[in-house]
Structure 1
Amino acid sequence: MSPACDLRVKGGKVAQIGPDLTPEPDEEIIEGHVNLLMPGLINGHFHSAVNHMKGRLPSLPLEVFMLYECPELEVLRPTPREAYLRTMLGCIEMLRSGTTSVQDDCFFVPAPEPEIIDAVAQAYTDSGMRARLALDQPELSELEKLPFLRDILPDDLRHELSVPTGAPASALLESYAHLIDTWHDTSDGRIKAAVSCSAPQRVSPDYFAQLDDLSIRNDLPFYAHMLETRLQRVFGEVCLSGRSLVRYTHDLGLLSDRMNVIHAIWVDDPDLDLLAASGASVAHNPNSNLRLGSGVMRWRAIQDRKIPVCLGVDEAIADDAINMWSVMKTAASLHTLSDWDYERWPQAVEVLNAATQGGGTAMREPGLGTMAIGAPADLILIDLKALPFVPLNNLPRQLVHCELGQSVRLTMVAGRVVTRNGRLQTVDEDAILAEASAVFAGKQNAMNLADKRVEKFLPYYREMYLRAGQYDLPVERRIDHLAR
């Protein structure tokens, strides 16, 4: 920790750091009271569309979980106000606990609409957060995205799942045009776009390439879920002639330093070598990976190759709290099971870097997640007199292992104070929470109806999942195999 000093913000950026800076006449003075000023946390991977569903689902494997999480059903179509409120719920939770930036890989059920995109972006604008917003939309049918289903399903359900239910590529590109033209680089650069293919196996190579072109032309991060689950590794073996999704993306010429490879659990050494050579970032979501039983990412192997890592919550029903401190604690603890050599376990400073500077790298925002001169003034003030830091023995370890966001006293984004003492200064929290409580209580019947409509697929998805578990693979990323 640096000695006590002053920091000056101008134009939304860190302008000067030093002892006893002389205040200028028009400056607001914020007293730090010898507490810790540090970069705001960056939620490097998030799906805001289910912020209103926290605690709704049990722990399930991803492929079964997604049946209930985001079925493309008309009954689940939100109103613009619902989309605004659910996004704002996440903003409130993040800003209160010191998360200042987010990469929202937002999905839209049953498909993106301009007014819903606008509602999500407006919530981020109003809250004061820094956000990258992408449209996480698959393009292909379920039968094309998953292994074994074609052989498992009866004829009627096979036919039903052979037809794509979302928007076609042409409509999705029109939605991206709206997102970029309307919202990219607005609010003095605080709100920006990104692109997303959801996952390589969920889109056609042609649409995948068109998204990459969009990313190149606008210098946007590109989000792609890869090798999150064992079943996805099996998909490569069965459906891609033995190629992993990382190799498949590389073979298409689409693996680049703009790409955020989300999860990257079931990777092997050749996959990691490709990621390192490309400059891609890995978005690590340890709480979600545990909640869905996906597996344990290779933390040290990724760090050894100097692959940039950011940390993410994933979503409010695969973590159930939108809290980056919890994510850091899990990341620091989980990987003690990954390597017998304790000197290779995650260090607190590494984890803090992933939650700050690593997120800035993934967002393609120079200086974000640091306090360098010229960096965005996205800062938080931590009360060092709070219980997690009394007594103060080792600051990085206590930030990672002891703090859960309760000690954040001030949150600043782009030089603007957006929370003080746990309350947002930008919106009426009480009114938002009361309205959201009433609105989403009224959505329970629709969500229950959606659950009923997808239950007919459950036995066949379970069979697919069990087949994937029995498939012989050269890699293993779960600990249950130790008991076999």
Structure 2
Amino acid sequence: MSTLFRGVHLLELDGDRGMSPATDVLVAGERIAAVGPDAAALAPADARVIDGHGKLLMPGLINAHFHSPVNHMKGRLDSLPLEIFMLYESPALEALRPTPREAYIRTQLACAEMLKTGVTAVQDDAFFIPEPTADIIDAVMQAYADSGIRVSLALDEPNLPELDKLPFLKELLPADLRAELAKPRAFGMESLLGMYHHLISRWHGAENGRLRAAVSCSAPQRVSIDYFHALDDLSRRHGLPFYAHMLETKLQRVLGHERFDGRSLIRYVSDLGLLSSRMNIIHAIWVDEDDLDRIARAGSVIAHNPISNLRLGSGVMPFRAIRKRGIPICLGTDEAIADDAVNMWAVAKMAGLIHNIAGPDYESWPHAREILDGLLRGGARAMGLQDELGLIAPGRLADLTLVDLDTLAFSPLNDLHRQLVYCENGSSVVLTMVAGRIVFDDGRLTTLDEPALRAEARELFAARAPALRTAAQAAERLLPFYRAMYAKAAASDVGMNRWVGDAGPRH
């Protein structure tokens, strides 16, 4: 099937125009076949013709960091520091084990929201409660297959006990709770690698390459060195992105002093020889100059999640210091429970604004073009698909978003780049195409029944409410000790401050 876009403007990130004069784009199969005056002549007689006059055709948006398993929990929690937030978000309780249908539906909820707003690809760093199983992995991947979106999915699973992941708890906890949190995880390294074998052998490259695997250590302090190396070996052998949360919070900076001989998590990973161009370093807020130099030398990508960072009070990432080193930046929503939406336009706007309060040097504040670069090219680079996505050109994959410029967001049209970042919220998206297939058109998803999806989600997860309340009650036992741990870390001197205002609570 071929599609001909007639008279569209193309987004231009380089140069001063912002967009091209009206032109034609031909899509044949999964790829862009021609751009320019020859496109119409090359179109077959049965090609679908889309009138693009007054519209902008741009590469599809890429959500470069996401966790699908809590997509049904948006709005459930107050803003809390990450380490306390996780007590309520992801306790490894049997009562929270999903059915395959629940996993399928919660994943499709996110797909619907993303496709309707022009997101064509997502990196899902999926954690599984209480552990990954083949049937739940299959349900999640089948949801992505049926939705039509492009995905790279990893299994975000630690293999160390809770007590080893966090500072100060050994001295703060009473003996009974300390023993409970010191228990080894029943689902160990070999079991996790078995689940990766299933993911890669069953799903990597499925749907003609639209579905792909990635690997994740969750965070370096949450896994053993042997498992970390085994994941890196999988990443290297199969050419997979490697996801790792690093220095998201001040507490994680403090942990380096207690557990890693004063080294930051970045330096620890670097010393292990595991920083690489395949690695997506997620958040990178509490980084110092040495950390950034190491990231730059390794060629790693940083995944910036500004709304989640604010929701969890994690701090403000040093955007300009990262850009100055040429480190690629991609953008993500993080999980729906820490963003409360899966809308990349909101992420782009926040990324364009939050760094303006980092300091008074306004010439160092982000420019709209830099934000769009992260949203498109940065995301493609993070996925390892920089030669396939992020640009409209012959031979590239046809992951495309059509934006109506005759909307309030662009009326009047003063500067396209700025209005895409600061004015658009997704409502101007009129068509989304993934691998040459139209998945959203004229206000309707073509791959799923959205009203039926919403209705089933309401029914399924209303029945889950008692289990979620039970999980919240279980967290209350640990809350006083986690609060004390957080306060102690917040009061520590780590030689930097990434919070706006003072350095946080004191004893």
Matches within 5 A, 1:319-468: 319-365=339-385, 366-468=387-489
How far 1:197 moved relative to its partner?
A: 0.2
How far 1:467 moved relative to its partner?
A: 0.3
TM-score, length basis structure 2: 0.94
**Which residue of structure 2 lines up, in the alignment, with residue 14 of structure 1?**
32
Matches within 5 A, 1:75-154: 75-154=95-174
Q: CA–CA distance in 1 between the matches of 2:265 and 2:480?
A: 26
RMSD value over aligned CA atoms? 1.1
How far 1:407 moved relative to its partner?
A: 0.5
Q: CA–CA distance in 1 between the matches of 2:104 and 2:119?
A: 19
How far 1:34 moved relative to its partner?
A: 2.7
Q: CA–CA distance in 1 between the matches of 2:209 and 2:186?
A: 31
- Structure 2 portions without partners, runs of 5+: 1-18
**Which residue of structure 1 lines up, in the alignment, with residue 255 of structure 2?**
235
Opposite residue 212 of structure 1, the aligned amino acid is D
Residues 32/386 of structure 1: CA separation in 2 closer, same or farther (3 Å cut): same
Q: Is the CA contact 1:260–1:282 (under 8 Å) kept in the aligned structure 2?
A: yes
**Which residue of structure 1 lines up, in the alignment, with residue 190 of structure 2?**
170
Which of 492, 495, 503 aligns to 1:471? It is 492
How far 1:165 moved relative to its partner?
A: 3.8
How far 1:480 moved relative to its partner?
A: 2.9
Q: CA–CA distance in 2 between the matches of 1:2 and 1:166?
A: 57
| 4+ aligned runs moved over 4 Å, structure 1 | none
Deviates more, 1:7-16 or 1:261-270: 7-16
Q: CA–CA distance in 2 between the matches of 1:425 and 1:131?
A: 18
How far 1:166 moved relative to its partner?
A: 5.4
Q: Is the CA contact 1:138–1:166 (under 8 Å) kept in the aligned structure 2?
A: no
How far 1:39 moved relative to its partner?
A: 0.7
Residues 166/450 of structure 1: CA separation in 2 closer, same or farther (3 Å cut): farther
How far 1:482 moved relative to its partner?
A: 6.8
Q: Does 1:252 align with 2:272?
A: yes
How far 1:9 moved relative to its partner?
A: 1.1
Q: CA–CA distance in 2 between the matches of 1:41 and 1:210?
A: 32
Deviates more, 1:471-480 or 1:295-304: 471-480
Q: CA–CA distance in 2 between the matches of 1:345 and 1:164?
A: 46
Opposite residue 422 of structure 1, the aligned amino acid is G
For residues 282-305 of structure 1, the C-alpha deviation after alignment (integer angstroms, 9 at most, x for no partner) is: 000000000000000010000000
How far 1:373 moved relative to its partner?
A: 2.1
**Which residue of structure 2 lines up, in the alignment, with residue 309 of structure 1?**
329
How far 1:328 moved relative to its partner?
A: 0.3
Matches within 5 A, 1:156-305: 156-165=176-185, 167-305=187-325
Q: CA–CA distance in 2 between the matches of 1:368 and 1:52?
A: 29
Q: CA–CA distance in 1 between the matches of 2:275 and 2:296?
A: 10
For residues 227-258 of structure 1, the C-alpha deviation after alignment (integer angstroms, 9 at most, x for no partner) is: 00000000001211110000000000100000
Matches within 5 A, 1:63-78: 63-78=83-98
Q: Is the CA contact 1:111–1:166 (under 8 Å) kept in the aligned structure 2?
A: no
Q: CA–CA distance in 2 between the matches of 1:428 and 1:302?
A: 42
Opposite residue 374 of structure 2, the aligned amino acid is A
Q: CA–CA distance in 1 between the matches of 2:45 and 2:240?
A: 39
How far 1:367 moved relative to its partner?
A: 2.8
Identical amino acids, percent of aligned pairs: 59
Q: Is the CA contact 1:97–1:422 (under 8 Å) kept in the aligned structure 2?
A: no
Find the residue that maps to 1:84 and give its secondary structure.
Answer: helix
Opposite residue 170 of structure 2, the aligned amino acid is R
Q: CA–CA distance in 1 between the matches of 2:359 and 2:306?
A: 16
- Structure 1 portions without partners, runs of 5+: none
Q: Is the CA contact 2:97–2:129 (under 8 Å) kept in the aligned structure 1?
A: yes
Q: Is the CA contact 1:88–1:123 (under 8 Å) kept in the aligned structure 2?
A: yes
Q: CA–CA distance in 2 between the matches of 1:480 and 1:53?
A: 31
Residues 483/126 of structure 1: CA separation in 2 closer, same or farther (3 Å cut): closer
Residues 483/441 of structure 1: CA separation in 2 closer, same or farther (3 Å cut): closer
Q: Is the CA contact 1:4–1:19 (under 8 Å) kept in the aligned structure 2?
A: no
Q: CA–CA distance in 1 between the matches of 2:400 and 2:202?
A: 27
